[in-house]
Amino acid sequence: MLNPLARSIATASLSAALLFAANPLAAAETQKIAVHSSDLNLTKGADRATLQQRIAHTVDRICGPDHARTTADVQAYATCSKAAQASARTQFDAMVAKAQTATKMASDGKTTTSTQ
């Protein structure tokens, strides 16, 4: 269990929005959508998987459906998706590292009391 200080540090780091940009159609057109993770514990694999799924859904929202009708649409989606996933991956990794560091700091800061 996290102590109150560690919990507030972990909550602050987890409540940050994961933002990523993509370039779906033109170089001048950039979109950003926040993917919230404040309800997740990123030290747990299941919650990391949930966040990855949220990111994938958001990439689809930004880049359009992956079942495009023309070759140009398929290429545009692939380019957009690749850029968005790369941007999101960097931020995802940083958020997971912060969560794990906060948990480690909390566990290192524990003191034990013994009675004799």
pLDDT at 73: 87
Residue 35, SS3 per DSSP: strand
Q: What are phi and psi of 38, to 5 degrees?
A: -65, -20
Query: pLDDT confidence of 93, banded at 50, 70, 90?
Result: very high
pLDDT at 40: 93
Q: Look at residue 107 and tell me whether its pLDDT is greater than 90.
A: no
Mean pLDDT confidence for 8-17: 39
pTM: 0.63
Q: Look at residue 34 and tell me whether its pLDDT is greater than 80.
A: yes
Mean pLDDT confidence for 60-88: 86
